[in-house]
Amino acid sequence: MRQITFGTSGWRAVLGEDFTFQSVRIVAQAIVHVLKQEKIGHRGLIIGYDSRFLGEKFAKVAAEVFAGHGMSVLLCDRETPTPTISYHVLQQNLAGGLNISASHNPPEYNGIKFTPEWGGPALPETTRAIEQRLVHLLHGEHVKWLPWEKAQRAQMVQMFDPCPDYLAALGKHIDVDTIREADLRVVMDPLYGTSRGYLDVFLRKAGAKMAVLHYWRDPYFGGLRPEPTRETTAELQETVKQGKAHIGLATDGDADRFGIVDQDGSFIDANIILALLVDYLATTRCWTGDVGRSVATTHLIDRVAHSHGLGVRETPVGFKYLAELMAKDEIRMGGEESAGLSIQGHVPEKDGILACLLVTEMIARTKKTLGELREDLFNRVGPTFSSRHDQPLTEAMQENLLKVQKSPPGDFAGKSVQQVNTLDGCKLVLEDGSWLLFRPSGTEPLVRCYAEASTREEMEALMAAGQSLMHHGPKSANEA
């Protein structure tokens, strides 16, 4: 078995290769050790799973390990969103939570997301402690567990329905009356994931007329990644357009990411949604203070925030860094371009269900399409166009990117470089505020290239120059 490492959001591996019943036991026992070191193991924990192959069986295997070490477990009775796990860790004062999930990764993957006692994604110091413990377990240290039947007889494991209390908690952050009065037609696509029975139930109770796609469990996710992108939501886009719905809502495999489709069937980029929500919530909730975004997320948020007198906190990529600020009540909202969002007072974990509900409330109150809201925002703070390109990371690319980071250019794509940001990867901020960022993925063997400019043409030219730099190195890019 190869080394087990935790990336941006937990541990992920291919089913049957590295993700096996034994590897799940090993990771669970490493987490037991960390919790007992912190002297909080007596508080128990919650375990859930998403709709991937054998998810419930992997969850039972993990529960057996915790029970074998004297820790009580609430085992979710069906596929469960990651933010729901986070909510119950906080609500019930648990030592932590696990979700057996590979989030938006392809169907052949599974994974483990660990939520510590503070309710957010595990921070690097926590994952390092788990990984250090894994070394001993991977080299033959005994793994202990209590077989399922004995664990149940000893009442160490209880089946648990996490849905009702979580939906009630969401209701504290959403203006349900505004949604009800708008008489909205909504199409939802959970992409075969965990938001079914959550997002649709909430909106139906709020009076929305719902149509739901892919409302069944499919471990193959229809042959696509369970990630709400322009490509994976093609059916949702067409259904919204043909059905003359007001909005289309999508979530990823474990419902911590969102995807939004406008009334005309167009997919709206997450960067735009985040900026629109900052504008809307700052107005309707009378926000003061700061909002947070990752280094890879649009600077449109900055312009919107500053127009409302709000500050902006920038973090590395990975919602755990925004979550840490939220847990300390230092930011009102945290957002990532990869469609992650949460707000102060909710859970310090990205929540795609919450994001979909907030967008629904926004169009209900404003009585405008998302396209109209975007144009209004652009007229007030200036237009912004963003893009991201992912590709397999080769050794040559890695060498080129290291060269750029060690010796960044003074000029790039015909403009002077005003700032070099190495908070996470290498970000070149140019004289007109446009920018380019390279960074390796923390969850997959990919390199991500991000570009942003005030026109689509400039953004595309910047991305093309970035691709040349990444493939051919600094010298070739400068010559081009």
Exposure string of 196-220, with b = 16+ CB inside 10 Å and e = fewer, is bbbbbebbeebebebbbbbeebebe
Domain with CATH 3.40.120.10 in the chain: 11-161, 185-381
d(CA 349, CA 64): 26
Question: What are the pLDDT digits (tens) for 328-375?
Answer: 999 999 999 999 999 999 999 999 999 999 999 999 999 999 999 999
- The topology under which CATH files domain 185-381 is Alpha-D-Glucose-1,6-Bisphosphate; Chain A, domain 3 (3.40.120)
Q: Which residues contact 237 (CB under 8 A, 6 or more apart)?
A: 248, 261, 265, 266, 267
Which range (17-21, 106-110, 474-478) has the least confidence? Answer: 474-478
Exposure string of 19-48, with b = 16+ CB inside 10 Å and e = fewer, is bbeebbbbbbbbbbbbbeeeebbebbbbbb
Q: CA angle at residue 281 from 275 to 283, to 5 degrees?
A: 105
Which range (132-146, 235-249, 268-282) has the least confidence? Answer: 132-146
- What does pTM read for this prediction? 0.94
Q: Distance between the two ends of the chain, CA-based, in angstroms?
A: 45
Q: 43: which 2 tokens?
A: 């508080």
**Residues, the chain:** 480
DSSP, residue by residue, 68-110: HTT--EEEESS---HHHHHHHHHHTT-SEEEEE--TTS-TTEE
**Residue 476: pLDDT over 60:** no
- The topology under which CATH files domain 385-479 is TATA-Binding Protein (3.30.310)
Query: Percentage of residues in the chain with pLDDT exceeding 90?
Result: 87
> Taking all residues of the chain, what is their mean pLDDT, rounded to a whole number?
94
Q: 402: which 2 tokens?
A: 């290291």
Question: What are the pLDDT digits (tens) for 53-77?
Answer: 999 999 999 999 999 999 999 999 9
Q: Which residues contact 91 (CB under 8 A, 6 or more apart)?
A: 165, 169
Q: Which CATH number fits domain 11-161: 2.170.120.20, 3.40.120.10, 2.120.10.30, 1.10.357.10?
A: 3.40.120.10
Domain with CATH 3.30.310.50 in the chain: 385-479
How many Cβ atoms from other residues are within 10 Å of residue 420's Cβ? 14
